């Protein structure tokens, strides 16, 4: 397995993070400007429309700022889910390219390929908005996956459907589709994650990491399913989330790539 099979997945996520960070920077700048703006304006020269606009802006409260930060949490969660989908898809694609004979494919992956392809084909009458599935290609590829086939083509895209990742357990389940066992202690050894989570040893960091992802998932779900009522997200909260996911995405990529490399040597 050549190195860097997940480089594009990581790059895509990091670009998404930067887009979200830009929006965050705008909201943060507006929040900091608001209490200062009144003394900076020459109210006597403002026309009626400008005066009304400035007054409305100055009357906004911290609650409105939190609402915007809550929206960014949803965007960040969506970007992370897409990142994991892309990791899984690219991993399966790489496995397929390294596969000379269908018979040498691990039985668990054979079953996953058949099962996931079946699920994907079932969506033909109600296509998934977040995936662009080529049903003819799915059918063509699955036809190459049989005992004795020398040119098997796995349906990598099918491995990513009906995938929800925003919790430690669901992340583990998602990676198990491609036979990757997520070792939390391996992530707990990453110095940058220890620093971000303010922990000192591997086991503490591994536990804190799972708890952090769990809380993030709970926050995301409360915002998405309850209209964000009662959920407060501050500037500091979101800044910490951006820092965490920048570090975590790189660490997760390294761990998954390492596991994929090992699997392809067995």
**131: in domain:** no
pLDDT in tens, 23-69: 999 888 887 777 777 777 777 788 888 778 777 776 766 667 788 89
Q: Mean pLDDT across the chain, nearest whole number?
A: 89
What is the model's pLDDT at position 245?
97
Residue 114 maps to a domain: no
Whether residue 222 is contained in a domain is answered as yes
The per-residue pLDDT for 192 is: 95
Q: Would residue 149 count as lying in a domain?
A: no
Q: What is the mean pLDDT of residues 147-167?
A: 91
pLDDT of 18 reads 97
Give the residue-averaged pLDDT of 225-243: 86
Measured CA to CA in angstroms, residue 13 lies from 79, 95, 151, 229, 248 at distances of: 7, 22, 32, 29, 11
Domain range enclosing 26: 7-97+157-263
* Predicted local confidence at residue 262, as pLDDT: 81
Measured between alpha carbons, how far is 87 from 5 in angstroms, rounded to an integer?
9
Q: Look at residue 1 in the predicted model and tell me its pLDDT.
A: 39
178-181 LR contacts (CB < 8 Å, sep 24+): 178/88, 178/91, 178/92, 178/95, 178/109, 178/112, 178/260, 179/106, 179/108, 179/109, 179/263, 180/91, 180/256, 180/259, 180/260, 180/263, 181/259
Mean pLDDT of 171-179: 94
Q: Summarize pLDDT for 61-100 with one digit per residue, the tens.
A: 666 778 889 999 999 999 999 999 999 999 999 999 888 8
Quick one: pLDDT at residue 66?
Answer: 80
Residue among 37, 42, 71 nearest 223 (CA): 71
Residue 125 has what DSSP assignment? Answer: G
Phi, psi of 77 (to 5 degrees): -60, -40
The number of distinct structural domains making up the chain is 1
* 133 belongs to a structural domain: no
- Nearest CA to 187 out of 170, 171, 164 is that of 171
């Amino acid at each position: 397995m050549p190195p860097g099979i997940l480089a594009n997945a990581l790059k895509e996520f990091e670009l998404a993070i930067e887009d979200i960070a830009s929006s965050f920077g705008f909201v943060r700048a507006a929040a900091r400007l608001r209490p200062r703006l009144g003394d900076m304006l020459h109210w006597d020269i403002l026309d009626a429309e400008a005066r009304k606009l400035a007054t409305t802006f100055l009357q906004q409260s911290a609650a409105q700022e939190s609402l915007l930060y809550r929206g960014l949490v949803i965007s960040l969660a969506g970007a992370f889910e897409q990142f994991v989908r892309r990791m899984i898809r690219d991993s399966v694609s790489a496995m397929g390219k390294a596969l000379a004979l269908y018979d040498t494919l691990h039985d668990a992956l054979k079953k996953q390929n058949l099962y996931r392809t079946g699920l994907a084909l079932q969506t033909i009458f109600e296509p998934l908005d977040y995936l662009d599935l080529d049903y003819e290609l799915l059918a063509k590829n699955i036809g190459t996956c049989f005992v004795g086939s020398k040119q098997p083509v796995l349906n990598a895209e099918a491995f990513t459907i009906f995938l929800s990742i925003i919790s430690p357990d669901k992340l583990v389940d998602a990676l198990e589709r491609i036979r990757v066992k997520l070792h939390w202690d391996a992530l707990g050894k990453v110095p940058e994650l220890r620093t971000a989570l303010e922990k000192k040893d591997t086991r503490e960091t591994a536990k804190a990491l799972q708890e952090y992802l769990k809380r993030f998932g709970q926050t995301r779900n409360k915002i998405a399913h309850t209209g964000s009522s009662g959920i407060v997200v501050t500037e500091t909260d979101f800044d910490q989330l951006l820092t965490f996911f920048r570090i975590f995405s790189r660490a997760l990529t390294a761990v998954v790539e390492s596991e994929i490399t090992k699997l392809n040597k067995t």
